[in-house]
Structure 1
Amino acid sequence: MSELMVIPTWRKRGISLRLHDALLYGRDEELVTLFVDSSHPRVQALYETWGYRKVSESKPYDDSPTFAVMVKRLQP
């Protein structure tokens, strides 16, 4: 998946967390990894409240933004 957003009029209702949890429910993988544009610290902070932690940064192309690489353990 490339991007998932909730339109502004539907924000602050827990919809993004429910969508996130539904996408990950029943997965067999041990970890989930995501990239967050480093110029959006509030988005990174949101993922941290959901159990993600920043492990590195990545700039895949010369003209791309720098991304925070975040991971979350799914399996104990």
Structure 2
Amino acid sequence: MPEGVPVFGLSELLVLKEWRKTGTSQRLHDAVVSSRGDEVATLLVDVAHPKVVELYERWGYEKVGEQKPFEDSPVFGVMVKRLRA
């Protein structure tokens, strides 16, 4: 990614159990990401949860690597989504 490209880092996205599988999380995600004007969005996802990885892939994210920020942390997939051409 070229230096100076505006990047939005998504840190946490959680909806209450009764709102899951209703499309609410994607609507929240899309509203936040589209309101910013950044060119790229990035997030970390625990690779031990493949259904969550697949969810983000359906939303247009691509896994570009993995990282383990601390010795006792899980392995996270680094995911990126291009927002603007």
Question: Structure 1 length normalisation: TM-score?
Answer: 0.92
Q: Among 34, 49, 71, which residue is 2:43 paired with?
A: 34
- Structure 2: where are the runs of 5+ without partners? 1-9
Could you list the runs of 4 or more consecutive aligned residues of structure 1 that deviate by over 6 angstroms after TM superposition?
Answer: none
RMSD of aligned alpha carbons:
1.1
Return the letter of the residue paired with 1:69: V
Please point out which of 57, 76, 79 is paired with 1:70.
79
Deviation at 1:3, TM superposition (A): 1.6
Give the CA deviation at 1:61. Answer: 0.7
Of 12, 15, 29, which residue of structure 2 is paired with 1:6? Answer: 15
Match of 2:55, SS state, is helix
Instruction: Flag structure 1 segments of 5+ consecutive residues without an equivalent.
Output: none
Number of aligned pairs?
76
TM-score (norm 2): 0.83
